[in-house]
């Protein structure tokens, strides 16, 4: 199993379904897997689980104490277990954290993101938009998804070379990279220390719930790569969850000689099955963002 396979299976599952009411009603997905949905008060850190009978019908139970965004994600996550036929390993760690998460759980998260933020409509919303927390928050409200899930999806479908990074108090846990960034072979290694000099590092050191942004040298996050270009880093820190998020991308003036022109053309030729990149956008200019 890999990310492309999971995305493909999710889109096959969604094919032919009426998705017009997905932001408010998940019954079209629930009915397709012959399940019913129940909400119950579950234990702390327990978001949901599924009970399946011998006749193939299932009951998906989600935690009624969690926010509606979390309940919706948990519902689609459990549908992912049913469709992908992957066993559950929820007991290892809280569902909102990437710390030591089992691979099955991560694949079901990928599946859930596809269901909650359908490619065609979400890609239209991301096209012609620069990476920003404003964009993430706007789409989070529209699709009724969490900030982290929405930011990861924005990054995955962006035409900009950018990454969304999830961290705990000291270590990088997960990084979602856009296709243009992958084409540049820019890598943010998981399970490595958060780099000093990053906005995230400073936020964690102060241990305050806050959001900050700054332009930083590119070698804070990357080494020996596109030297001379600065990075924009937007970070949010949630000490109560031991979670920190960063959205990073290169800040480059537009121009005919910029190397990104080549990477844009190459990106459009990749991913024919999933159509991850299908537009031509300029690089981010030197405008301030929140």
Res 98: pLDDT: 45
Across 244-252, average pLDDT: 83
Confidence of residue 289 (pLDDT cuts 50, 70, 90): very low
Number of neighbours of residue 269 by Cβ within 10 angstroms: 8
DSSP letter string, 140-176: HHHHT--HHHHHHHHHHH-SSSEEEEEE-SSBEEEEE
Q: Give CA angle at 86 (84, 87), nearest 5°.
A: 155
In the chain, the domains with their CATH numbers are: 3-116 (1.10.10.2910), 119-269 (3.30.450.20)
What pTM was computed for the model?
Answer: 0.75
pLDDT of amino acid 202:
92
Query: What pairs with residue 175 in β-bridges?
Result: 165
Let me know: does 243 contact 97? Beta carbons within 8 Å: yes
CA distances 192 to 131, 164, 188, Å, are 24, 15, 9
Q: What's the angle, vertex CA 241, arms to CA 238 and CA 246, rounded to 5? A: 45
Q: What percent of the chain has pLDDT over 90?
A: 44
Q: Is the pLDDT of residue 129 over 90?
A: no
HSE toward the beta carbon, residue 286, CA cutoff 13 A: 8
Contact assessment for residue 231 and residue 217, using Cβ atoms and an 8 Å cutoff: yes
Rounded to an integer, the average pLDDT of 127-147 is 89
Residues 77/48, Cβ–Cβ less than 8 Å: yes
**Rounded to whole angstroms, how far apart are CA atoms 275 and 268?**
8
- The pLDDT of residue 187 is 85
Cβ 251 vs Cβ 221: under 8 Å: no
pLDDT digits (tens, 9 = 90+) for 255-271: 444 444 344 444 444 43
Q: What is the pLDDT of residues 91-103, one digit of tens each?
A: 545 444 444 567 8
């Amino acid at each position: 199993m890999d990310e492309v396979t999971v995305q493909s299976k999710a889109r096959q599952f969604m094919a032919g379904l009426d998705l017009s009411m997905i932001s408010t009603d998940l019954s079209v997905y629930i009915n397709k897997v012959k399940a019913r949905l129940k909400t119950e008060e579950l234990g702390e850190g327990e978001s949901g689980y599924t009970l399946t009978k011998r006749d193939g019908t299932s009951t998906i139970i989600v935690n009624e104490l969690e926010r509606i965004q979390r309940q919706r994600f948990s519902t689609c996550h459990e549908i992912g277990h049913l469709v992908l036929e992957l066993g559950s390993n929820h007991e290892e760690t809280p569902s909102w954290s990437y710390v030591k998460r089992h691979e099955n759980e991560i694949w079901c998260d990928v599946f859930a993101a596809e269901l909650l933020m359908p490619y065609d409509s979400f890609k239209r919303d991301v096209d012609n938009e620069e990476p920003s927390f404003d964009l993430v928050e706007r789409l989070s409200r529209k699709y009724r998804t969490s900030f982290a899930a929405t930011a990861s999806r924005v990054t995955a479908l962006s035409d900009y070379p950018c990454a969304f990074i999830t961290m705990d108090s000291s270590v990088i846990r997960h990084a979602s990279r856009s296709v243009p960034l992958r084409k540049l072979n820019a890598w943010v290694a998981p399970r490595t220390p958060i780099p000093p000099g990053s906005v995230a590092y400073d936020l964690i050191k102060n241990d305050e719930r806050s959001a900050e942004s700054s332009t930083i040298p590119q070698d804070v996050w990357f080494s020996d790569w596109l030297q001379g270009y600065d990075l924009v880093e937007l970070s949010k820190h949630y000490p109560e969850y031991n979670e920190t998020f960063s959205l990073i991308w290169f800040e480059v003036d537009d121009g005919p000689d910029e190397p990104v022109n080549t990477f844009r053309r190459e990106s459009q030729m990749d991913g024919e099955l999933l159509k991850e990149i299908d537009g031509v956008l300029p690089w981010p200019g030197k405008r301030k963002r929140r």
